[in-house]
């Protein structure tokens, strides 16, 4: 597929995969993108997962025709992007391998690859291909330490590694934002500061297209994608609303969560209700980052908090959750302790405002707990 008259997409779509990185549900599969740049010299941008090495090599070879590639550029060594490197080197043994200094030890560790023909990519490295030059933007910890992005100064294309990627094979049409958000928060979300630094560097480039390693090539309305990445990486809420995330054993905590949802909706608030025992964990975390307010409603359990809620709170803290207003509803028949546990799990999160009152239910809703939920709704709706 042509990206421009001289840049071809030679990636693959994976519809056999069920879990990306062994944990993220991907019902619409994944795409592993690779690109061929044809000029006086030719460059191949990344490979694909080893399971698709044969299909990818056929595509790359067809794009190159009877020409030999001059460079294989590895922007990211994660195996879904470097897994076919050995097959490529067997077919094109004279190619020069281009990657950052931190990438070469990883390539040796993964594949035993330690090439003599190599170029170490730095911020001031320029690879002249003919009518264009490739410039490199080191992006450590977006989201591995060896990552670099590449800018083609003729066609104004930014090859963005894992940045601006999304879940889902892009031969299946679906809206970009939801799966890109879930991908970003899950895969990259902890590394907001490096992404902010990358966005500042990208702001000085004239970009006509973004070619990520996952998801579709982005050509239209690039400002929207850049703005979303700025919001996500700065840990700012994407929109005003309340996520009520709950766990419930016998339905009483669920009833409290539903009552709170109704009270908030009556006050004109946008509300999303999620049962953590029946929801995709990655989507729940992404939704918590999406909205400016969060309510955690959970039963006490084994002297702490219900396991799925504990996992959710730990995931939030691990991914840098911050800058939000948070309310807590706990349930405990004889020793309510969910609230204490949740506050401890989130104590390292920055700039959290705790909504009052903290609601405690003793087994089932009664007049006092209903009134407390009404007061919590009023606090959240301020």
127-151 confidence digits (pLDDT tens)? 999 999 999 999 999 999 999 999 9
Residues 112 and 225 in one domain: yes
**Domain limit, last residue, from 233, 258, 283:** 233
Residues 349 and 226 in one domain: no
> What is the helix, strand, coil percentage profile of the chain, to 5?
35, 25, 40
**Domain limit, last residue, from 195, 211, 233:** 233
- Please report whether residue 248 resides in a domain: yes
Residues 86 and 214 in one domain: yes
Helix (H), strand (E) at residue 379: helix 367-381
Q: Report d(CA 380, CA 164) in Å as an integer.
A: 33
Taking a C-beta distance cutoff of 8 angstroms, is the pair 194, 255 a contact? no
- Please report whether residue 190 resides in a domain: yes
Taking a C-beta distance cutoff of 8 angstroms, is the pair 64, 92 a contact? no
- What CATH number should be reported for the domain holding residue 78? 3.60.15.10
pLDDT value of position 369 = 97
pLDDT at 76 over 90: yes
DSSP 68: P
Nearest-5° angle of CA 349, CA 352, CA 357? 130
Furthest-apart CA pair in the chain: how many Å?
A: 79
Taking a C-beta distance cutoff of 8 angstroms, is the pair 276, 312 a contact? yes
pLDDT at 93 over 90: yes
- Please report whether residue 2 resides in a domain: no
pLDDT at 236 over 90: yes
Residues 252 and 371 in one domain: yes
| DSSP per-residue codes, 286-297 | HHHHHEEEEEEE
49-69 confidence digits (pLDDT tens)? 999 999 999 999 999 999 999
- Please report whether residue 180 resides in a domain: yes
**Domain limit, last residue, from 214, 233, 252:** 233
pLDDT at 173 over 90: no
Residues 270 and 297 in one domain: yes
pLDDT at 113 over 90: yes
Q: Are strands 291-301 and 324-331 parallel, antiparallel or unpaired?
A: parallel
Q: Tokens at residue 86, please?
A: 């050995």
Provide mean pLDDT across the span 283-304.
97
Full residue range of the structural domain in which residue 161 is found: 7-233
- Please report whether residue 1 resides in a domain: no
Q: Report d(CA 32, CA 214) in Å as an integer.
A: 5
Taking a C-beta distance cutoff of 8 angstroms, is the pair 81, 48 a contact? yes
Percent of the chain with pLDDT over 70: 100
Residues 204 and 282 in one domain: no
Residues 151 and 105 in one domain: yes
Residues 150 and 266 in one domain: no
242-269 confidence digits (pLDDT tens)? 999 999 999 999 999 999 999 999 999 9
Residues 69 and 85 in one domain: yes
For residue 207, what are the CA distances in angstroms to 130, 202, 210, 229?
20, 8, 7, 15
Residues 278 and 195 in one domain: no
Residue matched to tokens 């029946």: 278
Domain tally for the chain? 2
């Amino acid at each position: 597929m042509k990206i421009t008259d001289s840049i071809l997409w030679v990636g693959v779509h994976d519809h056999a995969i069920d879990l990306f990185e062994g944990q993220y549900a991907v019902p619409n599969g994944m795409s592993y993108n690779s690109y061929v740049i044809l000029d006086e010299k030719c460059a191949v941008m990344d490979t694909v997962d080893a399971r698709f090495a044969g299909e990818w090599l056929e595509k790359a070879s067809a794009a190159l025709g009877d020409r030999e590639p001059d460079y294989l550029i590895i922007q990211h060594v994660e195996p879904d992007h470097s897994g076919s490197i050995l097959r490529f080197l067997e077919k094109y043994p004279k190619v020069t391998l281009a990657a950052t200094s931190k990438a070469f030890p990883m390539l040796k560790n993964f594949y035993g690859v330690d090439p003599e023909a190599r170029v170490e990519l730095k911020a001031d490295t320029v690879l002249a291909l003919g009518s264009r030059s490739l410039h490199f933007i080191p992006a450590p910890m977006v989201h591995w330490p060896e990552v670099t992005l590449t800018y083609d100064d003729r066609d104004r294309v930014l090859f963005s590694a894992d940045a601006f990627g999304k879940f889902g094979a892009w031969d299946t049409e679906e809206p970009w934002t939801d799966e890109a958000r879930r991908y970003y928060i899950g895969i990259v979300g902890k590394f907001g500061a490096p992404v902010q630094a990358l966005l500042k560097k990208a702001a000085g480039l004239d970009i006509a297209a973004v070619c990520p390693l996952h998801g579709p090539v982005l050509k239209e309305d690039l400002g929207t994608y850049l703005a979303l990445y700025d919001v996500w990486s700065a840990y700012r809420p994407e929109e005003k609303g309340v996520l009520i995330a709950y766990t419930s054993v016998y339905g009483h905590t669920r009833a409290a969560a539903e009552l709170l949802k109704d009270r908030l909706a009556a006050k004109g608030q946008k509300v999303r209700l999620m049962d953590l025992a029946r929801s995709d964990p990655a989507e729940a975390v992404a939704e918590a980052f999406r909205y400016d307010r969060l309510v955690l409603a959970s039963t006490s359990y084994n002297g702490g908090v219900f396991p799925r809620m504990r996992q959710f709170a730990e995931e939030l803290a691990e991914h840098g959750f911050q800058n939000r207003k948070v309310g807590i509803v706990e349930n405990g028949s004889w020793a309510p302790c969910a609230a204490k546990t949740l506050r401890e799990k989130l104590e390292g999160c920055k700039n959290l405002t705790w909504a009052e009152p903290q609601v405690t239910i003793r087994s089932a809703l009664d007049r006092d707990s209903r009134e407390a939920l009404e007061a919590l709704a009023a606090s959240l709706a301020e």
